[in-house]
Amino acid sequence: MNRIKIKRIYEKAEEDDGYRMFVDRLWARGLTKEKAAIDEWNKIIAPSGELRTWFGHKPEKFKQFSQLYTAELKSKPEELKRINSIAKKQNLTLLYAARNEKINHAIVLLDVLHQHHEQ
């Protein structure tokens, strides 16, 4: 399997990013789709609107958010399988718009993808 990494969509695209998948439900503010240089905008795998709103990127809610989002992701096994199949063919970069690089849904998604791949 190739490498899966996460990075903010506002960071410059790099050749070793491979397949660039934006994994937010809402488009990134102030960024054109052309400048984002994405291969896919995957809204399906993003947290539900209700969960995203409840979380609000509050650090004290991140642990519970992670558990709830993981449960949402586990209900989408076919999508997880599809994403992992992309990563088997090439590097995959999961792009997110959140400001906080330590507490965001892409971290949770990356962990679940690694777990799903190992099964």
> Distances from the Cα of 30 to the Cαs of 9, 11, 41, in angstroms?
11, 13, 16
Q: What is the pLDDT along the chain (119 residues), one digit of tens a residue?
A: 579 999 999 999 999 999 999 999 999 999 998 899 999 999 999 999 999 999 999 999 999 999 999 999 999 999 999 999 999 999 999 999 999 999 999 999 999 999 876 65
Distance of alpha carbon 16 from alpha carbon 32, whole angstroms? 21
Give the pLDDT score at 117.
Answer: 67
Give the pLDDT score at 5.
Answer: 96
Give the pLDDT score at 2.
Answer: 72
Distance of alpha carbon 1 from alpha carbon 12, whole angstroms? 24
pTM above 0.85, yes or no: yes
**Extents of the domains making up the chain:** 4-118
Give the pLDDT score at 1.
Answer: 52
Half-sphere exposure of 24 (CA within 13 A, CB side): 18
Distance of alpha carbon 92 from alpha carbon 100, whole angstroms? 21
